[in-house]
Amino acid sequence: MTFKRMPRDGSFCVKLISIFLIPTFILSNIAYATPTTDSVTTQSQSITVTNPENIVVPRELGLVKTKFIGKEDRLIIHIQDAHCNYEAQSNIVKILENLHKNYNVNLISVEGADGVIDTSWFKAFPDDEVRKEVADYFMKKGEITGPEFLSITTDYNIKLFGAETRSYYIDNLNAFTSSYPLKEQTEKYLNSIKSALNKLKTYIYSEDLKLMDAKYQDYESKKLAFNDYVKFLQVEAERAKINLRAYENFFKLVSVLVYEKKIDFTVTDKERSSLIDNLSKAISKEALTELVNKSLEFKTGKVSSADYYAYLKALAINNGVDLAKDYPNLYNYIIYNSVYSKIENESLFNDIKKLESGIKEKFFTTDDQRTLEKLSRHIEILIGLVNIKLLNDDYEYFENNKSEFLHEVFSDFIKKKTVQYGLAYEMDDPNDAVAKALPKLEDFYSIAVKRDKALVDNTLGQMNKDKTKVAVLVTGGFHSEGMARLLEKQGVSYMVVCPSITKDLPTPYIQILTNQKTPLADILVTPVHASENQEVGDKGDTLAPPLRTALATMSGKDLDEMLRAIQGGEDLRTEVGQVKDNWYPISVNGLHVGSIEIVPGYIERMREGAGGVSSSSVLIAESVMRGLRHNFDVRLPYDRRWTGLCMSV
C-alpha cells in the first residue's frame, strides 16, 4: 500500500552535484573515443555485487556520498529521494536501470508504502507509448515516483516493496498535517527574531565577521556559486592562518579546483580520442580487446571514471607515451579526476561547516559576537524545523540542546542589546499557534527517527524473504544518517547516492501532501509544442495524457456518465462529437483537443486479470472518473486513502 511521502529538502543535493557537473557531461560519454570492435570479442555480463567499492553510478546521474563495507555479505544502496522533483526522479529511474542491468539488483524498497507494490493494473494497458507518456505526466506532477515509473513502463524483473511500518507512518503524517496550518504564523514569528538578530550584526560584528556572514548568505541564496564560495573560504582561512590540511576533503577540493584551471575540457576530449586511436593501432589484439571492453564498461557505468583513466594512463605509459608532453590537457584531467574520486562527499560539507566555524572563531573578539553567531545558527535550525528541511545531525543537535532554543534565550539577548545600542524594537511573546506548532514539529521528527529502524528492518526482512543479498532503499535524506548507524551496527554494507539535480525548482510536494485540489482544467487540458504531430486548436492545447488514456479505456456508458458529470460547468464545457470509424472528436469550450478511440470492456478485462489493488499507480481511467465525481479532483479524501484506489498517497 502506498502512502504520501514526507517532505524533504533537495537543495543539499543541488549543491553537492553542481561541484563537478560540467566536466562530467563533457567526459562521461566515450562514444567517439571507443576503438573499433572489428575482429574483437567484447564481454558484457550482469553479476550480483555486495561490495559498494565495486559499484559505479554514472556521474551525470548522481553522486556517491559515502560508502561502508560491513562484515555481512549484504548491501543496501540508499538513494536519497528529492520528492516530486522531476529531474531527480528521472535520474533515479536511470540509476535503478543501471543497477538492475549491470549488477542484477531486483529489489527496490521505498518509503511511503507497506508491502509489495503492485503496478500490474497500470502495466496492463497495451499501448506502451501511451502508458509511458501518462506515467511521465504523473511523475512530472509528483503523483508517482521514479521507482514506480520504472515498474510501470518496463518489463524488468524488479519488485517494488514498501518498507514502512504503517502505524509509524500514519503518526508521522498526522504530525505534519496537524502542524502545517500553523506554519505561516510560526515562520513569521521566527523570521521576526531572525530580522532582529541580523540588525544587531551591524552593531556587534567586526568587518571580518560581516564579510563572512554576507558571503554565506549569498551562497545560501544561490547568488554566489559554490566554487566561488570555496575560493572565498580558502582565502579567509589563509588570512586567519588556518592549516587547510586539517580539513582533508576541503583540501582535496581546493586541489581539484587548481587543476581545473589548467584544463580545457573540450581539448581534453579530443586528446583522449586521439590517444585511444593511436593506442588501438599500436597494441596487440589481446590488449585491444581489453581496451574495448574497458571502454564499453566505462560507457555503460560498470567501471568508475577514476579506474578507467588510471587504466588508460597505465596503458599509455607501458606503450611509451609521454602524456604530459603529448596530451597535456588529458594528463591534467587524469590527475584532477584521481583527486576528485578520493573526496568523500558526505564529509566535504562537514569540513566546510567546521572550517566556517574555525574562521569565525579566529575573528571573534567579544562574547557578544559569539552569542549572536550562536543565536543566528539556532534560529536557522528552528526555521528549518518549521519548513521540514532539517537533516538528522541538525535535529539531534536541537534535541540535545533544547534549553538553548527557548523564546526567552532569544528575547533576553535581543532586548538587552537593542537598549544598549539605542534601537527601537519590541519583541512579542509567541502566540498560541507558535506554542502549538513547535511541539507538533518535534513529534514529527521524533517519529521520523523511529521510521529509520522500521525502514531498515523491513527492507532486510524482505531481502531475507527473497533470498537476495542486495537491495535499493529510496528515502528522503533525513533518514540517511540514522539508517547508516543501524546498518553499521548490523554489519551490513551500504552506499548513499544523491541523484543529480541541476535546477533548484519548486515542486508540488506540499500541495500533494496537504491534499490541495488540482483544477479540472489542468486535468483535462495541457499545453503542447507546435512541433507535436497532433491536431490542436489555436491556443496550442491538447487533451492531457490522463484523460486521453481514460477515455481510450472507457466503455460508452462510463463516457456518458463522465460527460453528464461535467456538462454545464461554469468554467468548462466538454463536448463529444459523433463517432466516426470508432473515434470520437473531443472539444473543451469549443476548442478541439483530440480524437478518442473507445475500447469497450477494457476496464472489465483489466479487473478480471489483475486481481487485488495495492499500488499507488492504478488504473488512470478509474482515477479520473472518480476525480470527476469528487469535486473535480483526482485525489480522494483522507478517509478513503487506505483503499488503494488513488494515486501516490
Quick check: helix, strand or coil at residue 535?
A: coil
Q: Are 25 and 60 in contact (CB under 8 A)?
A: yes
Q: What's residue 587's pLDDT? A: 53
CA 361, distance to chain mean position in Å, is 34
| CA 488 to each of CA 20, 75, 390, 456, 481: distance values in angstroms, whole numbers, following the listed order | 29, 11, 23, 11, 11
Q: pLDDT tier at 207 (50, 70, 90 boundaries)?
A: very high
**370-417 pLDDT per residue, tens:** 999 999 999 999 999 888 888 888 888 999 999 999 999 999 999 999
Model pTM score: 0.67
> Which of 556, 543, 641, 643 shows the shortest CA–CA distance to 603?
556
The neighbour count for residue 81, using CB atoms within 10 Å, is: 29
Instruction: Give the Cα-Cα-Cα angle 617, 622, 623 (nearest 5 degrees).
Output: 55
Q: Give the mean model confidence (pLDDT) for residues 168-191.
A: 86
The one-character DSSP state at 429 is P
- How far apart are alpha carbons 550 and 559 in whole angstroms? 9
Q: What's residue 175's pLDDT? A: 85
CA 451, distance to chain mean position in Å, is 19
Which helix (H) or strand (E) segment holds residue 471: the answer is strand 470-476
- SS percent in the chain: helix, strand, coil, step 5: 60, 10, 30
Q: Which of 20-29, 249-258, 560-569 has the lowest mean pLDDT?
A: 20-29
Q: Which of 314-328, 375-389, 583-597 has the lowest mean pLDDT?
A: 583-597
Q: Are 616 and 624 in contact (CB under 8 A)?
A: no
- How far apart are alpha carbons 29 and 22 in whole angstroms? 12
**207-220 and 345-363 helices, crossing angle to 10°:** 150
Question: Is pLDDT at 117 greater than 50 in this prediction?
Answer: yes
The mean of the pLDDT values for the chain is: 76
* The residue to which cell 470492456 is assigned: 601
Q: Is the dihedral of CA 190, 194, 200, 204 positive or negative?
A: positive
Q: What's residue 39's pLDDT? A: 40
**532-556 pLDDT per residue, tens:** 333 333 333 444 444 444 444 444 4
- Which residue intervals of 427-478 are DSSP H helices? 432-466
Q: What's residue 84's pLDDT? A: 72
Question: In sequence order, which residues have a C-beta less than 8 Å from that of residue 389 and are 6 or more positions away?
Answer: 8, 9, 11
Q: Are 100 and 77 in contact (CB under 8 A)?
A: no
Which helix (H) or strand (E) segment holds residue 63: the answer is strand 62-68
Question: Is pLDDT at 612 greater than 50 in this prediction?
Answer: no
Which helix (H) or strand (E) segment holds residue 586: the answer is strand 583-588
Question: Is pLDDT at 318 greater than 90 in this prediction?
Answer: yes
Q: pLDDT tier at 108 (50, 70, 90 boundaries)?
A: very high
**620-629 and 545-553 helices, crossing angle to 10°:** 100
- How far apart are alpha carbons 173 and 178 in whole angstroms? 9
- How far apart are alpha carbons 629 and 561 in whole angstroms? 10
